[in-house]
Amino acid sequence: MTHLNSIRKNMNFLLSVLLFATGLFLNPLSAKASGTTVYNGVDYSSVYDFDYYISHYPDIAQFFSNDPQGALEHFVIFGISEGRIGREAACDATPAATDSDPAAVSGPLSGMTVILDAGHGGRDPGCIRNGVYEKNVNLSIVLKTADMLRAQGATVLLTREGDSFVSLDYRYCFENLHPEAVFISIHCNALSGNNSFSGMNAYCNTASCAGSFDLAACVYSGVLFATGAKDRGIRTDSNLRVNLYSVIPSVLLETGYLSSRTEFPLLTSSDYQDLIAEGIANGLTIYRSLHP
Nearer to Zn ion, 118 or 234 (CB): 118
Smallest gap from Cβ 263 to Zn ion, in A, equals: 14
Q: How far apart are CA 244 and CA 207, in angstroms?
A: 8
Q: Nearest Cα to 252, choosing from 228, 235, 277? A: 235
Q: Nearest Cα to 98, choosing from 109, 80, 108, 113? A: 113
Nearer to Zn ion, 64 or 172 (CB): 172
Pairing of strands 42-43, 132-133: unpaired
Q: Does 187 bind Zn ion (CB under 5 A)?
A: yes
DSSP string, 53-93: HHHH-HHHHHHHTT-HHHHHHHIIIIITTTT---STTGGGG
Nearer to Zn ion, 140 or 152 (CB): 140
Smallest gap from Cβ 261 to Zn ion, in A, equals: 19
Smallest gap from Cβ 246 to Zn ion, in A, equals: 17
Q: How far apart are CA 159 and CA 115, in angstroms?
A: 7
Q: How far apart are CA 221 and CA 48, in angstroms?
A: 37
Q: Are 230 and 269 in contact (CB under 8 A)?
A: no
Cα end-to-end distance, the chain, whole Å:
31
Q: How far apart are CA 17 and CA 22, in angstroms?
A: 8
Nearer to Zn ion, 97 or 188 (CB): 188
Please report, as residue ranges, which positions from 133 to 172 form the binding site for Zn ion (by CB under 5 A): none
Pairing of strands 200-203, 155-158: unpaired
Q: Are 98 and 161 in contact (CB under 8 A)?
A: yes
Nearer to Zn ion, 69 or 260 (CB): 260
Count residues binding Zn ion (CB under 5 A): 3
Smallest gap from Cβ 186 to Zn ion, in A, equals: 9
Which residue stretch of 14-22, 96-104, 117-125, 235-243 sits at the interface with Zn ion (rule: CB under 5 A)?
117-125
Nearer to Zn ion, 28 or 122 (CB): 122
**From the list 119, 121, 211, 222, which residue makes contact with Zn ion (rule: CB under 5 A)?**
119
Q: Please identify the residue of the shown chain whose CB is closest to the bound Zn ion.
A: 187
Nearer to Zn ion, 153 or 199 (CB): 199
DSSP string, 237-265: B---HHHHT-SS-EEEEEEEETTSTTHHH
Smallest gap from Cβ 211 to Zn ion, in A, equals: 24
Smallest gap from Cβ 130 to Zn ion, in A, equals: 16
Smallest gap from Cβ 222 to Zn ion, in A, equals: 20
Which residue stretch of 111-119, 171-179, 260-268, 281-289 sits at the interface with Zn ion (rule: CB under 5 A)?
111-119
- Residues of the shown chain interacting with Zn ion in the complex, contacts defined by CB under 5 A: 119, 126, 187
